[in-house]
Structure 1
Amino acid sequence: MALHSGGSDQTYRISHDAEKYKTRIHMSRPSARLATMVDDLPRIPTKTPRAGTVQSVERAMAILQALSEEEEGCRLTDLSQKTNLSVSTVHRLLTTLERQKFAHFDPSTNLWHVGRMAFTVGSSFLRQRSFVAPALPFLKRLRDLTNETANLGVIEDGEVLVLSQVKSREIMRAITRIGGRVPMGRSGMGKAILSTYPRFAVEAEQAQLHRKPAHMANDGYAVDDEEFMRGLRCIAAAVYGPQGEVLCAISVSGLSIRIPPARVPRLGELLVKTADELTHALGGCRPEG
Structure 2
Amino acid sequence: MKRNVIRRKVLELRPGADIESDPRDGGVQSVDRALSIIETLAEDDEGYRLTDLAVRTGLSTSTVHRLLATLEKRRFVHFDRHESKWHVGAQSFSVGATFARRRNFTAQAMPYLRKLRDQTRETANLAVVDDEAIIVLTRIESREIMRSLTKVGGRVAMVASGVGKAVLATYSDEDVNAIICRQGMPRLTEKSIVRPGELFRELEAVRRRGYAIDDEEARIGLRCIAAVVYNDCSEPLAAISVSGMTSRITDERLPVLGCIVRAVAAELTVVLGGVMPQVGEAVG
What is the rounded CA distance, in whole Å, between the counterparts of 2:236 and 2:31 in structure 1?
Answer: 33
Name which of 120, 123, 133 aligns with 1:146: 120
- Corresponding residue of 1:75: 49
What does 1:183-222 correspond to in 2, within 5 Å? 183-206=157-180, 209=184, 211-213=195-197, 214=199, 215-216=202-203, 217=206, 218-222=208-212
Contact 1:143 1:150 in 2 (8 A): yes
TM-score by length of 1: 0.80
Q: Name the aligned partner's letter for residue 109 of structure 1.
A: E
- The answer to whether the aligner puts 1:160 opposite 2:147 as a matched pair is no
Q: Please list the CA deviations of residues 163-202 of structure 1 after superposition, one character each: whole Å capped at 9, or x if unmatched.
A: 1111222224333101111111121100100111123323
Match of 2:247 among 240, 257, 263: 257
* TM-aligned CA deviation for residue 44 of structure 1: 7.4
SS in 2 for 1:150: strand
CA RMSD of aligned residues (A): 2.4
Letter in 2 for 1:272: R
User: Equivalent of 2:29, from 22, 36, 55?
Assistant: 55
Q: SS of the residue aligned with 1:251? A: strand
Closer, same or farther: CA 47–193 of 1 in aligned 2, 3 Å = farther
Spell out, residue by residue over 1:143-174, the C-alpha distance to the aligned partner (whole angstroms, 9 max, x if none): 22212111111112221111111122222433
SS at match of 1:175: coil
Question: Which 4+ residue blocks in structure 1 deviate beyond 4 angstroms?
Answer: 15-18
Aligned to 1:117: 91
On the 8 A contact 1:149/1:173 being kept in 2, the answer is no
2:230 & 2:115 partners in 1: Cα distance?
19
- For structure 2, the residue ranges without an aligned partner over 5 or more in a row are 18-26, 186-194
Q: Does 1:179 align with 2:146?
A: no
Kept in 2: contact 1:143–1:252 (CA 8 A):
yes
Matches within 5 A, 1:96-115: 96-115=70-89
SS of 2:13 mapped into structure 1: coil
Structure-1 separation of matches of 2:240 and 2:273: 17
1:235 aligns with 2:225: yes
User: 1:280 and 1:233 mapped to 2: Cα distance?
Assistant: 27
> Aligned partners of 2:128, 2:14: CA distance in 1, in Å?
29
Separation of aligned partners in 2, 1:85 and 1:224: 37
Counterpart CA distance in 2 for 1:178 and 1:15 is 14
Unaligned ranges ≥5, structure 1: 1-10, 19-42
| Equivalent position of 2:272 in the other structure | 282
Q: Give the secondary structure class of the aligned counterpart of 2:247.
A: coil
Q: Report the number of matched residues.
A: 253
CA offsets, 1:182-238, max 9 Å, x none? 111121100100111123323443455352342121421011111122221111000
**Post-superposition offset of 1:47:** 5.1
| Counterpart residue number, 1:271 | 261
Deviation at 1:249, TM superposition (A): 0.6
Matched letter for residue 212 of structure 1: P
Deviates more, 1:101-110 or 1:236-245: 101-110
Tell me the secondary structure at the aligned position of residue 83 of structure 2. Answer: coil
Aligned with 2:240: secondary structure? strand
Structure 1 residues 45 and 163: alpha-carbon distance in aligned structure 2, compared to 1, 3 A threshold: same
Task: Indicate if the aligned counterparts of 1:153 and 1:163 stay in contact, CA closer than 8 A.
Answer: yes
> What CA distance in whole angstroms lies between the structure 2 residues aligned with 1:67 and 1:205?
27
- Matched-pair identity in %: 49
Give the letter aligned to residue 178 of structure 1.
V
Which one-letter code corresponds to 2:196 in the other structure? K
